[in-house]
Structure 1
């Protein structure tokens, strides 16, 4: 089972993100549904014993800070054909991600952390780029979710398996 930990995107932000992103796509794209928008903090990859991992995740995660996601712009993702909403890597967000990585000891996550929200896939043709567009909004990260990723020929679907409220010390 393919798992990851992410912060859900508030409803008030989702439609604005998708509306702006759709105006940038030069060709048809496979849009991520509003219900699936999230800010991935830790990719866990293929997990053979998901029940064991879920049991190891705390019921609440104390934080000495309030993490926020500051979206700076929408543009081409690092993978060809993706449209991302880029999130500024502020210290509290980086600390939250590093704490999760240490807590869950993810061997899959050895890449540099680029905070973003994937909005679409298949949005460009070979060699074309999507123009960046400024997009400024902030939201508080009050909970995290462990998601299961399920790929189908038409799309990718995400199923929340566990919600972890963040408490502030």
Structure 2
């Protein structure tokens, strides 16, 4: 179902809690570039499924359907800016043992959007994140050391925000979209 704000709801009815986060997907061209890197990642690292590639904006943690509906209603009513981010640095984060392509918050629209998301999430009972925003796309889990990978630069032009459900399945974690809406074009150029 699509609303006038450009929001699309898939399923915001469930019992109990789900593990939720807000993020954006790479466009088709960038998704192909990232998917081409996945086979180059050596074991024991486990590459992410190409369908799961995303940039996390805000990890929400466990949430009820009621919280998700309240959150998405609030986000649908706000002007949320589109943004641009350059991802150009390979990093291994030892705590979660992930390999990611990361960048910095340079675009003021991204900083503004992040503050809006924090406010709306807090108002709807979600716990604040433990870390500041570090734009990145995770490409592999169980990464303990930095593999030899070719340099890569991706300019992600975010135009749609998505509420994802992180679901554990026998095949591994799947990121299922529950809701999405278009971001407002602010002509980001940074």
TM-score, normalising length from structure 1? 0.82
Do structure 1's residue 160 and structure 2's residue 151 form an aligned pair? no
Residue 70 of structure 2: which of 22, 42, 55 is its match? 55
2-structure distance, mates of 1:150, 1:87: 26
> Within 5 A, what are the aligned runs for 1:47-86?
47=63, 49-57=64-72, 58-59=75-76, 61-63=78-80, 65-79=81-95, 81-86=97-102
Do structure 1's residue 113 and structure 2's residue 113 form an aligned pair? no
Native 8 Å contact 1:86 1:115 kept in 2 = yes
Native 8 Å contact 1:76 1:130 kept in 2 = no
2-structure distance, mates of 1:66, 1:153: 35
Q: Secondary structure at the match of 1:135?
A: coil
Native 8 Å contact 1:82 1:123 kept in 2 = yes
TM-score, normalising length from structure 2? 0.74
Native 8 Å contact 1:61 1:165 kept in 2 = no
2-structure distance, mates of 1:53, 1:97: 17
Task: Report how many aligned residue pairs link the two structures.
Answer: 163
Q: Which runs of 5+ in 2 are unaligned?
A: 1-17
RMSD: 2.3
Tell me what 1:41 maps to. Answer: 57
Native 8 Å contact 1:62 1:168 kept in 2 = no
Q: Which runs of 5+ in 1 are unaligned?
A: none
